[in-house]
Amino acid sequence: VINSPFVLNQLHCNGVLEGIRICRNGFPNRISFQEFCQRYDILCPNIILKGFMDSKTVSQEMIKQLKLDEGKYRIGLTKIFFRADVLSFLEEKRDLKLANIITQLQALSRAVLTRKYYQRRIQKWNLVCVMQQNPNIIKVEDSLPQKQEEMRRMKAEIESCVSREQESKQQLQIVQQEKDIVNDRLANVIEALKESDE
């Protein structure tokens, strides 16, 4: 059985409650400008080229675009300080953005599979047409307008699939470039962390 008043008294005497209060009133989370830029630049893709600006300026621009309340952060000389739960909010936004990119990749794969499926259907249809031409010419002539209409419809579907595939390929290239940038930045962050640990 837990004696609540006793536990609260112990926490108060050990300074835990005071530490929690200070943590909530202050800015317990901090991150360097470079790490902030590398980790959260996916949330602000239209920032000016980062090679021409220092990480502090880029970080300030990113915070403006993210529309963070000025009371939730402070900008220091080398780091940004955040109130509690601000970094978790940014992480959630980042996870949603990455999930969106993954969804786009899945859509591209489905487009490719759908295109292959329709190509197989057309091949089967052509085979059926060839097989039916010889023994059943009369039946084919009777159903020819209907089959031609079906062929036109299938060609239209294929053309739309091809155009969607081209759009998907362009999106895939963009996503691949973003992925490469994120991987490069992750490698830089890991290297920087290793250097800072040494």
Instruction: Mention the CATH class of domain 28-84.
Output: alpha beta
Q: What is the mean pLDDT of residues 151-169?
A: 91
Considering only the C-alpha atoms of the chain, give the largest distance between any 2 of them, rounded to a whole number of Å. 99
- Distance, in Å, from the CA atom of 171 to the CA atom of 41, rounded to the nearest integer, reads 19
Place of tokens 């998907």: 168
Domain boundaries, the chain: 28-84, 89-197
> What pLDDT, on a 0 to 100 scale, did the predictor assign at position 105?
93
Q: Are 109 and 168 in contact (CB under 8 A)?
A: no
Q: Is the pLDDT of residue 11 over 90?
A: no
Find residue 30's DSSP bridge partners. 81
Structure confidence at residue 154 as a pLDDT band (50, 70, 90) = very high
> What pLDDT, on a 0 to 100 scale, did the predictor assign at position 191?
85
Structure confidence at residue 111 as a pLDDT band (50, 70, 90) = very high
- Distance, in Å, from the CA atom of 137 to the CA atom of 145, rounded to the nearest integer, reads 14
> What pLDDT, on a 0 to 100 scale, did the predictor assign at position 106?
94
Q: What is the pLDDT of residues 170-183, one digit of tens each?
A: 999 998 999 999 98
Residue 1 contacts by C-beta under 8 Å, 6 or more apart in sequence? none
